Structure 1
Amino acid sequence: MTRLFFPFLVSLALAVPAAAFDAVTPPLPEGLEDTKDQEKKEEPALPPGLFGEAPPSLPPGLGGTPDTDAANKMDSRDSGFHGLDLTGFAETRLGFRTQSDPNQKAASIAEARLQLSFEKAFSLGTLSVTGDLLFDPVAGSYKPRLESGRGAIDLREANFLARPTSFADLKIGRQVLTWGTGDLLFINDMFPKDWNAFFIGRDEEYLKAPSDAVKLAMFSDFANLDVVYTPRFDADRYIDGRRLSYFHPGYNSVVGRNAVVNANRPDSWFSEDEIALRLHRNIGAAEVAVYFYDGYQKSPNSMDPVSGQATFPRLRTYGASLRKPMFSGITNIEIGFYDSRGDNAGTNPFVPNGEFRFLAGYERELASELTGSVQYYLEHMADYDAYRTTLPAGFAAKDKNRHVLTARLTKLAMNQTLTWSLFAYYSPSDQDAYLRPKVSYKLTDAWLLEGGANWFIGKNDYNFFGQFERNSNIFAAVRYSF
């Protein structure tokens, strides 16, 4: 279905008379920006090249003349190195577990990272590439694996952005995608996440993993439509035991490197694909959106009972969101239904049941340079009686309703060079919690110092945050940006 639907939609969009669309993208508030504004956020304009002076002119007889060398030098000063805008950072990040884990190394992270980003503008559009070079002895392997992010190279972005018509933008290639209203909680954002990076203490930006996709954004006076087609399924960079220990129901215990997940991942181009749609607009001061996704569960949370191999079951989601100013702050509400295509009746104990999900949040300034936010999140399992009836003996039963509360506090000090922050999750139904305190200090515009922790607390090993208790860690980082 998705193979035929996406080319048809692109053809239809480009065939619509331009008069039906406004050539100028209507401005939208934060959270539901039009594509131009979104691109500015996701891909900020980079400063001119950082190579300073152009390469020195060659001696006579070795290429060029004094006049052409001078012209080349002037061009390099005006447009960067061969017209490239190059930025990046170098970083060292170290972290250690606070508890002993027989199935993991004592160090949670010990990496040196160099990120390089560049843009090149052409008459037809803009080419953007961002890649990270990594040295990480904790991982123990340097063979590049671009899908999982492991190895010496992590390609974050490699895409081409064009505007084929006055009412549509088209981005093709590897890109980091995000939508929805939650703060570190996701309902309708079905793009890949990197939970390993998040829990071992990497910067928060690395929670979002890249997608290899085509994004078509169309805008009109009525509403804006985003269509993302992924020709081959992009999974989460999920927790598999290599870096973090997790609860394995088959072993009925927490395991790690002794039981690395070997999942059967959908891997066929154009047949095992994904499509995501978002229709969004403003109604007064409110930002409203509806969502659709057809693909697979992003992490391997089902199992083949014959082989025992983890699998990614089929999934289709429907959702909506609302975000608006209220009570001197910002309120957001988001809902979603997860239609488990592999088990519509909820009678297969090896495939997740369908779920209704709900999120409500509120954020405001509490005092000068102090902001706070809270969220309530609910997962309601459908066909719960069928789930309990078919649950294998010895397996811990999930609750029908999983409740999660979050709170975020951020304090700026010392002319906003010092930032204190705390993000906390607490589940009263699971009786577990996750705390993420962090402090950062800008020595200069280029140098940044950072320290923090990932602290897991749980009554039971089989609950989501409780299973990670032995992965609790502290970390510190030094970053130089250029």
Structure 2
Amino acid sequence: MAGNSFRTSLLTAVLAVSVGVFAQEAPPTVDDWGAFDEMGDWDDEDVASPFSWAGFIDIAAGTRLQSDSAIRGDTTLTDIRGQFQADYAFDSSKIGFRGDVWYDGVTDSWESQIRELYWQGNLGFLGNAGEKFDLKAGQQILTWGVGDYLFLNDLFPKDYQSFFAGRDDDYLKYPSLAVKLSGYFDLVNVDFVVMPEFEPDNGINGEYFSYFNPMLAENTGARMEIPDENKPDDPEYAMRLYRSVAGTELAIYGYKGFTKLPEAADELGRPLYSDLTVTGFSAIRPVGPGIGKLEYAFHDGDDTDGSNPLIPNDQTRFLIGYEQELVANLTAGVQWYTEFNHDFDVRIANSSWPQFEATERRHVFTTQLRYQALQQTLVLHAFNFWSPTDDDGFLRFRATYSPTDKWQVSGGMNLFYGDEAHTFYGQFEDASNVYASFRYFFEG
């Protein structure tokens, strides 16, 4: 409850500050809006309203391809959702809002979420130096890095329940209450983000899908409850330095906060978010007829030598990928991703269940195909994750048809496979599902 109160107070403060800044901006004049025509009326074609709004209504349903003995019921998605978004633009700033209200048939509950509520603008009102900076404050979606569905330096929260259930990819990114300061300079550009309240991933916790519990040596659908004292209340910090050099987009990243999933445990075995520091870099540039990319990250946790089995070991992550258009409207991409767990022998020696520990080096290969047809109104997208070290994988297929800007239908499949019940993708084999949705758009 205290976290919700703090969030509400901070969002209220952001809006109050925004109103104060807006009051300093000069109101639009006739010259700003357009001129009178010869008859003395407004020239409507030259008038641009500072306010815009839009939204959609979405109905979605999904079901398992096989039963899961740890979860009651086969339904994986039953949404009746409405989203409303609005923007108000001023001379050098704007406020934005995007919010959802929906009925979740899986949990039989009404839910709501403010995905965006922010003020964004240039700081030129502070003087010449301020013109080099933009500020965005409030609830917002944050992301960076170059991987497709693989996150190395992107430690902003994700919603894996939505991702596995077949909701639109937009819902994989979870909102954060944050202040983002962006500076633009000749030498380098910089983004600095402060998240005053820790926001974890919405992971697989037994609500929609079961997960492997090493203490039971099997999957469980019991809700993963995290004690309040094991949830951090300190802020998170993230930074990115980036610039283009000889056609290559280079970036350096830093993060100081906590693990986004409760991968650690306390002395009583209860889930815990542990401290985490991440540093890394990325590069992306044209290579032949396509785009090449690479990314590196070092995840530095609390356990410096691997001897504490309750805390994740330090980890090095690396990704290299390539994407190109094979023929008109058909794009293909491949990625190789690897994780190296440091001090692995020490961890195995101290582990309570060494047979279930992740491998020292975990590799994942991804392939994707994206095809557009019927004058790009039909989009077919297939994406496969395959780990040769874990001998498991995850295939996603989605088809979207949108013949007008008023409505679209989509459907797809999430198929998990693997030989072992404890591996990353293998544990979700009984979560494999198919889904379909209809979305109607409206705007002002």
TM interval, short-chain normalised: 0.7 to 0.9
Aligned partners of 2:92 and 2:290: how far apart in 1? 41
| Alignment correspondent of 1:161 | 120
Alignment equivalent of 1:88, drawn from 55, 58, 73: 55
Q: 1:196-275 counterparts in 2 under 5 A?
A: 196-256=161-221, 259-264=222-227, 272-275=234-237
Aligned partners of 1:396 and 1:413: how far apart in 2? 45
Could you tell me which amino acid in structure 1 is paired with residue 334 of structure 2? Answer: V
Q: 1:372-383 counterparts in 2 under 5 A?
A: 372-383=332-343
Aligned partners of 2:250 and 2:170: how far apart in 1? 25
Q: What percentage of aligned pairs have identical amino acids?
A: 38
Could you tell me which amino acid in structure 1 is paired with residue 285 of structure 2? Answer: K
SS in 2 for 1:166: helix
Q: CA deviation at 1:268?
A: 6.1
Q: CA deviation at 1:105?
A: 2.2
Q: 1:69-468 counterparts in 2 under 5 A?
A: 83-102=50-69, 103-123=71-91, 125-142=93-110, 152-164=111-123, 165-256=130-221, 259-264=222-227, 272-306=234-268, 308-340=269-301, 342-393=302-353, 395-468=355-428
Deviation readout 1:363-386 (Å, 9 max, x if unpaired): 001111100000000000001111
Q: CA deviation at 1:305?
A: 2.7
Could you tell me which amino acid in structure 1 is paired with residue 342 of structure 2? Answer: A
Aligned partners of 1:479 and 1:380: how far apart in 2? 42
Could you tell me which amino acid in structure 1 is paired with residue 404 of structure 2? Answer: T
Aligned partners of 2:251 and 2:207: how far apart in 1? 38
Q: 1:471 to 1:393 in 2, by over 3 A?
A: closer
Aligned partners of 1:229 and 1:394: how far apart in 2? 38
Normalized per residue, the structure richer in strand is 2
CA contact (8 A) 1:249 1:395 kept: no
CA contact (8 A) 1:405 1:427 kept: yes
SS in 2 for 1:206: helix
Aligned partners of 1:417 and 1:235: how far apart in 2? 36
Q: CA deviation at 1:118?
A: 0.3
CA contact (8 A) 1:104 1:245 kept: no
Could you tell me which amino acid in structure 2 is paired with residue 279 of structure 1? Answer: L
CA contact (8 A) 1:303 1:311 kept: yes
Aligned partners of 1:375 and 1:394: how far apart in 2? 29
Q: CA deviation at 1:394?
A: 6.4
Q: 1:111 to 1:427 in 2, by over 3 A?
A: same
CA contact (8 A) 1:170 1:215 kept: yes
CA contact (8 A) 1:344 1:353 kept: yes
Aligned partners of 2:145 and 2:385: how far apart in 1? 19
CA contact (8 A) 2:231 2:272 kept: no
Mean alpha-carbon deviation: is it higher for 418-427 or for 439-448? 439-448
Unmatched runs of 5 consecutive residues or more in structure 2? 1-41, 124-129
Regions of 4+ moved over 3 Å: 77-80, 264-269
SS in 1 for 2:163: helix
SS in 2 for 1:209: coil
Could you tell me which amino acid in structure 2 is paired with residue 85 of structure 1? Answer: S
CA contact (8 A) 1:213 1:228 kept: yes
How many positions carry a matched residue from both structures?
Answer: 392
Aligned partners of 1:424 and 1:334: how far apart in 2? 20
Aligned partners of 2:409 and 2:60: how far apart in 1? 10
TM-score normalized with structure 1 length: 0.79
| Alignment correspondent of 1:4 | none
Could you tell me which amino acid in structure 2 is paired with residue 248 of structure 1? Answer: N
CA contact (8 A) 2:231 2:273 kept: no
Q: CA deviation at 1:421?
A: 1.2
Unmatched runs of 5 consecutive residues or more in structure 1? 1-72, 143-151
Could you tell me which amino acid in structure 1 is paired with residue 275 of structure 2? Answer: R
Q: 1:369 to 1:297 in 2, by over 3 A?
A: same
Aligned partners of 1:355 and 1:136: how far apart in 2? 36
TM-score normalized with structure 2 length: 0.85
Could you tell me which amino acid in structure 2 is paired with residue 214 of structure 1? Answer: V
Q: CA deviation at 1:104?
A: 3.5
Aligned partners of 2:227 and 2:197: how far apart in 1? 14
Aligned partners of 1:124 and 1:224: how far apart in 2? 20
SS in 1 for 2:109: coil
CA contact (8 A) 2:348 2:354 kept: no
Aligned partners of 1:203 and 1:429: how far apart in 2? 30
Mean alpha-carbon deviation: is it higher for 227-236 or for 117-126? 117-126
Deviation readout 1:397-427 (Å, 9 max, x if unpaired): 3210000000110111111111111000000
